[in-house]
Amino acid sequence: MGYDKRYDGREFDEVRPITAKAGVVKNADGSAYFRIGGTWAYAAVYGPREMFPRFQQNPKKGVLRVNYNMMPFSGQGDRVRPGPNRRAKELSMVSTKAFQDVVDLSKFPNAAVDVFIELPETDAGSRCAGICAASIALADAGIVMKDMVAAVAVGRVDDQIVVDLSYLEEATEDGRGAVDIATAMIPSTGEFTLLQMDGVITKDELKEALSKAKDACAKIAQVQRQALHDKYGNQGGDDNE
């Protein structure tokens, strides 16, 4: 028997319930939280501001720095050791790169934009939730960006292609096991800015998974935009995607 019903009863291409809110950290220039199922990401943006250390400044354009951090109590019971570890450094880097071609800092030479992503609760898909939150926060900070990046994890559990895996699904070892593909996308152009994978997958399965990721990202993008509209009294309510 294959994986014919999801552990949490969702449809195979259904994402977990999402709530998003912009402007949650008062002292930051822009901020947001993004909650998807049991994963909860906060993002705060500071800047553009003077960049230190000075040798990292770029006189041609501003530098974007994204920092990803899981809180010590956030995981599945085991305490996460605080501070940057190998995994957090990698995810900080890929999150930065997910925004590199979207954010335009050419008007801010020698300056830096810092994005801090904090995760108080995690249940798989934390880098994607972090990118979604950071995207709202960057827009909230008034940074020039082509589009808001939407991110979602897709994958395969046993023989079934699924969208937005939970931790239980990700840890499945039944049958062919689980494949987890973290993606981030620019909704207006359909380009991927993040693509990482765990596991073994066939070409056809990958294609199917990515096309489902596009559909899911389009839905997430609407939630992100609504979060910003809500902050300003829902003036631009209807989305025209």
Q: Does 125 bind other proteins (CB under 8 A)?
A: no
What whole-number distance in Å separates Cα of residue 190 and Cα of residue 212? 12
Q: Does 106 bind other proteins (CB under 8 A)?
A: no
Using CB under 8 A as the binding rule, the residues of this chain from 52 to 91 that contact other proteins are 59, 62
Using CB under 8 A as the binding rule, the residues of this chain from 214 to 233 that contact other proteins are 221, 225, 228-229, 232-233
Q: Does 146 bind other proteins (CB under 8 A)?
A: yes
Choice between 110 and 196, CB closer to other proteins? 110
Choice between 63 and 161, CB closer to other proteins? 63
Dihedral angle sign, alpha carbons of residues 99, 100, 101, 104: positive
Choice between 32 and 129, CB closer to other proteins? 32
Binder to other proteins among 64, 80, 98, 141 (CB under 8 A)? 141
CB of 131 to other proteins, least distance (A): 14
Q: Does 184 bind other proteins (CB under 8 A)?
A: no
CB of 50 to other proteins, least distance (A): 6
Binder to other proteins among 2, 72, 142, 190 (CB under 8 A)? 142
Choice between 72 and 142, CB closer to other proteins? 142
Binder to other proteins among 37, 47, 130, 155 (CB under 8 A)? 47
Binder to other proteins among 48, 125, 130, 155 (CB under 8 A)? 48
Q: What letter represents residue 93's amino acid?
A: M
Number of residues that bind other proteins (CB under 8 A): 39
Binder to other proteins among 12, 65, 111, 218 (CB under 8 A)? 111
Q: SS3 for the chain, per residue? A: CCCCCCCCCCCCCCCCCEEEEECCCCCCCEEEEEEECCEEEEEEEEEEEECCCHHHCCCCCCEEEEEEEECCCCCCCCCCCCCCCHHHHHHHHHHHHHHHCCECCCCCCCEEEEEEEEEEECCCCHHHHHHHHHHHHHHHCCCCECCCCEEEEEEEECCEEEECCCHHHHCCCCCCCEEEEEEEEECCCCEEEEEEEECCCCHHHHHHHHHHHHHHHHHHHHHHHHHHHHHCCCCCCCCCC
